Amino acid sequence: MDNLFLESIKKSNLIDDGQKITLAVSGGADSMYLFYNFMDLKEIMNLDILVCHLNHGVRETAKRDEDFVKNKCKDYGIKCVTKKVNMNEYAKAHKMSSEEAGRLLRYEFFRENSKDRLIITAHNANDRAETILQRIIRGTGINGLVSIKEKRDGIYRPMIDISRDDIEKYLKENNLDYVDDETNFKEIYTRNKIRLSLIPELKNYNPNIISSLLRLSDNAEDAMEFIEFETSKHFDEATYGNELSIAKLKEVHEYIGKEIIRKFLENNSNDKEIITRKNILNTYNLMDSMSGKKIDLGGNIIARKTFDKIVIEEKDLDKNKYQVYPLKEGLNKTPYGDFYVTINGEKREPSMFNIMLDCGKIKSSLSVRYRKNGDRFVPLGMKGSKKLKDYFIDRKVDSKKRDSIPIVCDEEKILWVVGMDISDEAKIDQETKNILHLEVRK
């Protein structure tokens, strides 16, 4: 067993005696290094090992690799499970790159066969460096520099600090065979181009570019731990349902404020495509916009400012406006709620959803509806009317919620903005003879 490998296993403390594990083995140098070392470790720790090999179905020599892995498992008395897929067809059907399709198919296969097992892959230090460069080229943030972690989502990677040079050196010195995937030496994928062209070029400037990139990743991981700690500390106070508190976002450092928005979008959106720097910046800048300002985040999601909040929600593609419903004495079931109308009934304490009006000031029939353009209202205590829109603005009612507040009217005027104010024109006074009780439930 390679001492570098043994040190990594001891340091992680993730393998227990008698543990059930799955090894992802392709047959290449990295995965065979993993395989051979685990064969030695198996005897020491009495491990229950299963090998999984996925044939991606894109190379003529793929069957050779599959047979190689099967035979090695047979030599060591290890159970081997194989599966053949068509990576390129899957990529085309799901509109993704072949690299991404291969990764998804591999992990799906590993998990299918790994109930109660720890999945172990052969990612190494070079893989980490290549991933960092790939993300830098695409334009990553600090989080993207963290690269491949030793353990995440049930996957353990004991070789992430071992370089490919050390792996190949160990195999050569111990005459341990493996197979080469010839596509690894062709610049047909972005990762191959980075490995075959970019990294050798960077070594002309820094021979230790791999270790330098890994230090960058480690530093980024330390920074992200602090950022995540600060973000989580303020997150609950800054968010409520689908709302962000402007006061709280302004209270924290701008960077943390933007991270709160990022985390909020990650937690509340199924469409990860909307989590972009542009959307985060635009959402943050809404704080200094006029109330009612909104931006399109894509994926049928908008962000809008409403007074002291930023609301993240789906676009209102169907406002579903109900018709006007008449209200008669007794129980009235409507889409707006259940309205109970009684005249001179038992006295009850008025509340937001239980009010009293002067029957003599009501003109003909009662009805309930949503607001419409041009509505005017005389709130209790006022003499002149005002636009219902202005009334809502004065009361700081979210513009989106204004369309879902029931309005009780007679044939001439608004009598009650449900849950808020009654009209001064229908209030009870010393001359009131008959009282109309109006209560809404549900």
298 plus 252 within the same structural domain: yes
Q: Please indicate, yes or no, if residue 73 is contained in any of the structural domains.
A: yes
Cα distance between residue 249 and residue 372, in whole Å = 34
> 260, 295, 314: which is the final residue of a domain?
314
Q: What angle do helix axes 62-76 and 29-45 make, rounded to 10 degrees?
A: 20
Whether 27 is in a domain gets the answer yes
Does 235 map to a domain? no
pLDDT tens digit sequence for 82-117: 999 999 999 999 888 888 899 999 999 999 999 899
Co-location of 16 and 72 in the same domain:
yes
Spans of the chain below 70 pLDDT: 316-322, 346-348
Return mean pLDDT, the chain: 90
Cα distances (Å, whole numbers) of residue 123 to 39, 167, 177: 18, 11, 19
Encoded tokens for 65: 């690799």
Statement to judge: residues 294 and 424 lie in one domain: no
Is 334 a domain residue? yes
Residue 219 counted as domain residue = no
- Residues 249 and 200 reside in one and the same domain: no
User: Nearest 5°: phi and psi at 84?
Assistant: -110, 135
**72 and 179 fall within a common domain:** yes
Query: For residue 234, is it within any domain?
Result: no
Question: How far apart, in whole angstroms, are the C-alpha atoms of residue 317 and residue 301?
Answer: 11
Beta bridge partners of 49: 21
Same domain, 363 and 408: yes
Residues 170 and 69 in one domain: yes
Q: Which of 265, 292, 314 is the last residue of a domain?
A: 314
Burial (CB count <10 Å: 0-12, 13-18, 19+), residue 243:
middle
Q: How many Å separate Cα 122 from the centre of its chain? A: 28
The CATH number of the domain holding residue 382 is 3.50.40.10
Residue labelled with tokens 């701008």: 254
Question: Do the domain assignments include residue 221?
Answer: no
Domain assignment present for residue 319? The answer is: no
Is the same domain home to 36 and 154?
Answer: yes
3-state secondary structure the chain: CCHHHHHHHHHHCCCCCCCEEEEECCCCHHHHHHHHHHHHHHHHHCCEEEEEEEECCCCCCHHHHHHHHHHHHHHHCCEEEEEECCHHHHHHHCCCCHHHHHHHHHHHHHHHCCCCCEEECCCCHHHHHHHHHHHHHHCCCCHHHHCCCCEECCEECCCCCCCHHHHHHHHHHCCCCCCCCHHHHCCCCHHHHHHHHHHHHHCCCCCCHHHHHHHHHHHHHHHHHHHHHHHHHHHHHHEECCEEEHHHHHHCCHHHHHHHHHHHHHHHCCCHHHCCHHHHHHHHHHHHCCCCCEEEEECCEEEEEECCEEEEEECCCCCCCCCCEEECCEEEEECCEEEEEEECCCCCCCECCEEEEEHHHCCCCEEEECCCCCCEECECCCCCCEEHHHHHHHCCCCCCHHHHCCEEECCCCEEEECCCCEEHHHCCCCCCCCEEEEEEEC
Q: Are residues 93 and 125 in the same domain?
A: yes
Q: How many CB atoms lie within 10 A of CB 276?
A: 14
- Which residue segment(s) compose the domain that 342 sits in? 325-441
Report pLDDT for 320. Answer: 46
Collect all residues with Cβ–Cβ distance below 8 Å to 397 and sequence separation of at least 6.
405
Q: Are both 145 and 170 inside the same structural domain? A: yes
Provide the CATH number for the domain around residue 282: 3.30.465.60
Does this model's pTM top 0.85? My answer is no
CB 260 within 8 A of CB 252: yes
Per-residue CA distances from 293 to 285, 290, 314, 393 (Å): 11, 6, 15, 14
What CATH number is given to the structural domain containing 27? 3.40.50.620
Query: What are 234-268's pLDDT values in tens digits?
Result: 999 999 888 999 999 999 999 999 999 999 998 88
Q: Are residues 309 and 334 in the same domain?
A: no
Shared domain check, 329 and 306: no
Residue pair 42/49 in contact (Cβ under 8 Å)? The answer is yes
Residue 384's pLDDT is what?
86
**Per-residue pLDDT at 321:** 54
Give the per-residue pLDDT at 226. Answer: 96
How many domains does the chain divide into?
A: 3
User: Residue 357 and residue 15: Cα distance in Å, rounded?
Assistant: 75
Q: Which of 314, 341, 367 is the last residue of a domain?
A: 314
